[in-house]
Amino acid sequence: MWGLLLALATFAPAVGVSLGAPSASVLGLAPPGTTKAPVPSPAPRSSPTEPPAGKENGTSEHHVRIRVIKKKKIIMKKRKKLTHPRPPVTAGPSVTTSPAGTLDLPEKQEPGCPPLGLESLRVSDNQLDASSSQSFGLGPHRGRLNIQSGLEDGDLFDGAWCAEQQDAEPWLQVDARHPTRFSGVITQGRNSIWRYDWVTSYKVQFSNDSRTWWGSKNRSSGMDAVFPANSDPETPVMNLLPEPQVARFIRLLPQTWLEGGAACLRAEILACPVSDPNSLFPEVPMLGSSDPLDFRHHDYKAMRKLMKQVNEQCPNITRVYSIGKSHQGLKLYVMEMSDQPGEHELGEPEVRYVAGMHGNEALGRELLLLLMQFLCHEFLRGDPRVTRLLTEMRIHLLPSMNPDGYETAFRRGSELVGWAEGRWNHQGIDLNHNFADLNTPLWEAEDDGLVPDTVPNHHLPLPTYYTLPNATVAPETRAVIKWMERIPFVLSANLHGGELVVSYPFDMTRTPWAARELTPTPDEAVFRWLSTVYAGTNRAMQDPDRRPCHSQDFSSYGNVINGADWHTVPGSMNDFSYLHTNCFEVTVELSCDKFPHENELPQEWENNKDALLTYLEQVRMGIAGVVRDKDTELGIADAVIAVDGINHDVTTAWGGDYWRLLTPGDYMVTASAEGYHTVTRSCRVTFEEGPVPCNFHLTKTPKQRLRELLAAGAKVPPDLRRRLERLRGQKD
């Protein structure tokens, strides 16, 4: 999601330097030497150095100081580095620190504590404070890691906390509300398509009462430590404290920032809870789940191992198969769960969940791995709800559609991956824009009055350009399309992250070049029902006290929105699934944090567990049946099921069975097939759990019977001959 903002706001990320090392000791609540004093004056603001003269090849020569750590000895070296010159607005000043303030470099940065919860919104707005703010949209409540700005310059949802220009001693403060062991800080600059602002260095202070403060000290000199921050607006930079500090409040004090810009930052605090033996503070709510599942992030190897373990634990209801490979050769594994794995049972619908289309949106991946474990465990326990799910439908779980992108994000880690890294596949393709645009040819045919008599309103074929060998189609996309065509899916959800909302087709605006526009499908009622079911059973979406993730408050819409009315997405999987197959699919944005920390996975599972199960159960909504040949009782494949008043048809599977999702009401349903007489009947969908049986028996036309007899070399029966003669007479 947020592809437009990413394309405009993300540029030339530079890797930040991470300094500081954790210590095994924990300091007391009021260290010796603490004084009650105002915030210290910041160091002089650095100015960008004059760029050297450029060379003919468009590069310039800079001397870069690099610290090389070898056996705990710091060596200063110089080397030449060729860099492309940047415009002055993007050239960050050097960070000036006195020799006494220089930090001791650790051999390796290992964050010992999880995030406090600024990005995930566990830290509420009223826990954040600041010395000043340029506007409400740049207030302290916006100083959260990876928060995204709105599209308007200076609106109420800007992308950082920014101090006033005249604020000589700016600070951003977080109240943890309990004694907390602070171990590190992660910062970013301002997310904006209009301005460039980021802090290049800062100090850190602590307090237990927000009045008496002490600073983070350099271990060797004992002076206040100055931490290097960012060199671009998006790349997260982590600094671990030389000594972890136990306190209730933490302050970040910007010391230098981009020349011509403002002191703007987004942050996450690394912090561990500490015991409160005297119960002086309210108990911290625990993040957890009682389900005995593997709550951690799984890379490709670990994911494959876990899926194998689930298959071995429940061999009678599971099957692991691959639908293809990624650009780098990683297999796209699917977990199938059913009482008859490996075969399509007549009358049982096929459903799927797809996650990891954007590799850095990791929560969906873990939720599907947790779901397959949960279904296995509960089936073995005899849970009636799970048993019914596995005996009445065939479930397919694809936890990682973009394994290459995920491996990139996983190597960076949940807090340092940023907003975009790992989003695309290894070729740089956004898979959610990579499916064939079937919307445009359908709408053009509708405008010309060709639908449905000349051009069908369903199962639109792939455009010729899309099937060419040199078409820009990712191998992951091709694999999923073949998967869709091979299995008669009825219902699906595509799991994403970075917001809390369910969006439904159409994802592409009907008006060309419109950035957003309400563009419903003929099945608007069904899609809104499906979306509302997930949003209404998701704990986080139903929290009345939750704040918006970024710049839109979807709770005012019931956490449901038409995709095109949010932002247009040509070539989305949702639209393609609806127009190329029978499958109804929505997108679920699972959380504000795209890559939650492992300690948040149990709570995220509890937030989504019931929603995942309830959504699957919606495949029973509507009508279902079998279209058979009246003479042979054999199922008729590819028969068309049309519902009067809804300009979108579905077709039967190879056994003649079909499923048509519908909201309660009375419908006139028509079944037709080539070579058969059309049959129409009334089918009533009630509020009681379905699906409502709606079967059809079709009779072959005389022409079709004659064609089959002649093909078999048989004689034409007298009754058929007389009927053909009557038909010829009527034509004459």
Buried b (16+ CB within 10 A) or exposed e, 351-362: bbbbbbbbbbbb
Residue 13 burial (CB count, 10 A): 15
User: Is 656 a domain residue?
Assistant: yes
Please say whether the dihedral angle defined by the alpha carbons of residues 142, 148, 154 and 156, taken in this order, is positive or negative: negative
Joined together, the tokens standing for residue 681 give: 């009947």
Residue 75: the pLDDT is 31
- State the Cα–Cα distance between residues 165 and 149, nearest whole angstrom: 20
Nearest to 473 by CA among 509, 508, 405, 427: 427
- Three-state secondary structure string covering 91-114: CCCCCCCCHHHCCCCCCCCCCCCC
Domain co-membership, 314 together with 192: no
Nearest to 332 by CA among 481, 522, 156, 163: 481
Which segments within 34-171 are labelled E, that is strand? Answer: 60-70, 73-83, 128-130, 161-162
Residue 100: the pLDDT is 36
Give the model's confidence band at 280: pLDDT under 50 very low, under 70 low, under 90 confident, else very high.
low
With residue 240 as reference, give the H or E element that holds it: strand 237-257
In this structure, the strands spanning 199-207 and 237-257 are: antiparallel
**CA atoms in the 13 A half-sphere facing the CB of 634:** 6
Query: How far apart, in Å, are the Cα atoms of 226 and each of 96, 97, 218?
Result: 9, 7, 9
**CA atoms in the 13 A half-sphere facing the CB of 421:** 22
Percent of the chain with pLDDT strictly greater than 90:
73
Domain co-membership, 391 together with 486: yes
What CATH number is given to the structural domain containing 519? 3.40.630.10
Domain co-membership, 574 together with 538: yes
Percent of the chain with pLDDT strictly greater than 70:
82
Tens-digit pLDDT profile for residues 326-359: 999 999 999 999 999 999 999 999 999 999 999 9
Does the active-site annotation cover 169?
no
Domain co-membership, 329 together with 216: no
Q: Give the structural domain span for 586.
A: 304-618
Judge whether 186 and 268 are in contact, CB under 8 Å: yes
pLDDT at 713 over 80: no
Specify the DSSP class assigned to residue 210: S
Judge whether 636 and 673 are in contact, CB under 8 Å: yes
pLDDT at 157 over 90: no
Last residue of a domain, one of 588, 618, 648: 618
pLDDT at 215 over 90: yes
Residue 152: the pLDDT is 72
With residue 273 as reference, give the H or E element that holds it: strand 264-273
Annotate 454-482 with DSSP letters as a single string: TS-SSSPPPPHHHHSTTS---HHHHHHHH
Tens-digit pLDDT profile for residues 57-75: 333 333 333 333 333 333 3
Domain co-membership, 231 together with 188: yes
- State the Cα–Cα distance between residues 152 and 425, nearest whole angstrom: 30
Last residue of a domain, one of 223, 255, 271: 271
- State the Cα–Cα distance between residues 414 and 279, nearest whole angstrom: 32
Annotate 594-622 with DSSP letters as a single string: SS--GGGHHHHHHHHHHHHHHHHHGGGSS
**SS3 category, 500:** coil
Domain co-membership, 173 together with 160: yes
- Three-state secondary structure string covering 662-677: CCCEEEEEEEECCCEC
Residue 357: the pLDDT is 97
Per the prediction, the chain carries an average pLDDT of 85
User: Is 93 a domain residue?
Assistant: no
More confident residue, 447 or 84: 447
Annotate 166-208 with DSSP letters as a single string: T-SS--EEEEEEEEEEEEEEEEE--B-SS----EEEEEEEEES
Enumerate the β-bridge partners of residue 722. Answer: none
Joined together, the tokens standing for residue 48 give: 């960008």
Joined together, the tokens standing for residue 581 give: 């197959």
Joined together, the tokens standing for residue 469 give: 């060998």
pLDDT at 103 over 50: no
Residues 6+ apart with CB under 8 A from 656: 346, 626, 627, 628, 634, 635, 636, 637, 639
Q: In degrees rounded to 5, what are phi and psi of residue 401?
A: -75, -25
Domain co-membership, 462 together with 589: yes
Tens-digit pLDDT profile for residues 543-590: 988 889 998 899 988 999 999 999 999 999 999 999 999 999 999 999
Specify the DSSP class assigned to residue 691: P
With residue 353 as reference, give the H or E element that holds it: strand 350-355
- State the Cα–Cα distance between residues 384 and 391, nearest whole angstrom: 10
Give the model's confidence band at 704: pLDDT under 50 very low, under 70 low, under 90 confident, else very high.
confident
Q: Report H helices in 437-562.
A: 439-447, 464-467, 475-486, 524-537
**Of the given ranges (249-258, 357-366, 370-379, 685-694), which has the lowest mean pLDDT?**
685-694
- State the Cα–Cα distance between residues 11 and 159, nearest whole angstrom: 16
User: Is 438 a domain residue?
Assistant: yes
Rounded mean pLDDT, 595-605: 96
pLDDT at 86 over 50: no
**Of the given ranges (277-291, 383-397, 589-603, 687-701), which has the lowest mean pLDDT?**
277-291
Joined together, the tokens standing for residue 51 give: 């760029």
User: Is 295 a domain residue?
Assistant: no
User: Is 503 a domain residue?
Assistant: yes
pLDDT at 502 over 80: yes
User: Is 463 a domain residue?
Assistant: yes
Domain co-membership, 597 together with 625: no
**Of the given ranges (496-510, 608-622, 696-710), which has the lowest mean pLDDT?**
696-710
With residue 271 as reference, give the H or E element that holds it: strand 264-273
User: Is 554 a domain residue?
Assistant: yes
Tens-digit pLDDT profile for residues 6-54: 443 443 333 333 333 333 333 333 333 333 333 333 333 443 333 333 3
Residue 110: the pLDDT is 55
- How many domains would you assign to the chain? 3
- State the Cα–Cα distance between residues 353 and 400, nearest whole angstrom: 10
Joined together, the tokens standing for residue 575 give: 């639209």
Judge whether 354 and 494 are in contact, CB under 8 Å: yes
Residue 282: the pLDDT is 64
More confident residue, 113 or 103: 113
Domain co-membership, 517 together with 388: yes
Please say whether the dihedral angle defined by the alpha carbons of residues 369, 370, 375 and 381, taken in this order, is positive or negative: positive
Judge whether 695 and 627 are in contact, CB under 8 Å: yes
- State the Cα–Cα distance between residues 409 and 417, nearest whole angstrom: 6
Last residue of a domain, one of 618, 643, 673: 618
Domain co-membership, 209 together with 236: yes
Q: In degrees rounded to 5, what are phi and psi of residue 364?
A: -60, -40
pLDDT at 239 over 50: yes
Size of the chain in residues = 732
> Is the model's pTM score more than 0.75?
yes
Judge whether 164 and 133 are in contact, CB under 8 Å: yes
CA-angle at 674, arms to 672 and 678, nearest 5°? 30
Query: How far apart, in Å, are the Cα atoms of 598 and each of 46, 113, 114, 205, 418?
Result: 38, 11, 8, 27, 16
- State the Cα–Cα distance between residues 563 and 509, nearest whole angstrom: 9
Domain co-membership, 386 together with 509: yes
Q: Catalytic: which of 119, 234, 361, 589?
A: 589
What CATH number is given to the structural domain containing 222? 2.60.120.260
User: Is 22 a domain residue?
Assistant: no
Residue 634 burial (CB count, 10 A): 10
Rounded mean pLDDT, 227-246: 96
Give the model's confidence band at 604: pLDDT under 50 very low, under 70 low, under 90 confident, else very high.
very high
Enumerate the β-bridge partners of residue 658. Answer: 625
What CATH number is given to the structural domain containing 645? 2.60.40.1120
Domain co-membership, 640 together with 516: no
